[in-house]
Amino acid sequence: MHNYFVYILECSDKSYYVGVTNDLETRLSEHNNGENVFAYTFSRKPVVLMYYQRFDQIEDAIDFEKQVKGWSRKKKEALFKEDWDEILRLSNYKN
pLDDT tens digits, 24-56 = 999 999 999 998 999 999 999 999 999 999 999
User: Is the pLDDT at 95 greater than 60, yes or no?
Assistant: no
| pTM above threshold 0.85 | yes
Domain assignments of the chain as residue spans, ordered by start: 4-70
Question: Which superfamily does CATH assign the domain made up of 4-70 to?
Answer: GIY-YIG endonuclease (3.40.1440.10)
DSSP letters, 55-73, are: ESSHHHHHHHHHHHHTS-H
pLDDT value of residue 94: 59
> What single-letter DSSP state applies at residue 43?
G
pLDDT tens digits, 4-24 = 999 999 999 999 999 999 999
Partners of 8 in the β-ladder = 18, 51
Q: What's the CA gap between 3 and 32, in Å, rounded? A: 22
3-state secondary structure of 44: helix
pLDDT value of residue 1: 75
Contacts of 64 (CB under 8 A, 6+ apart): 6, 53, 55
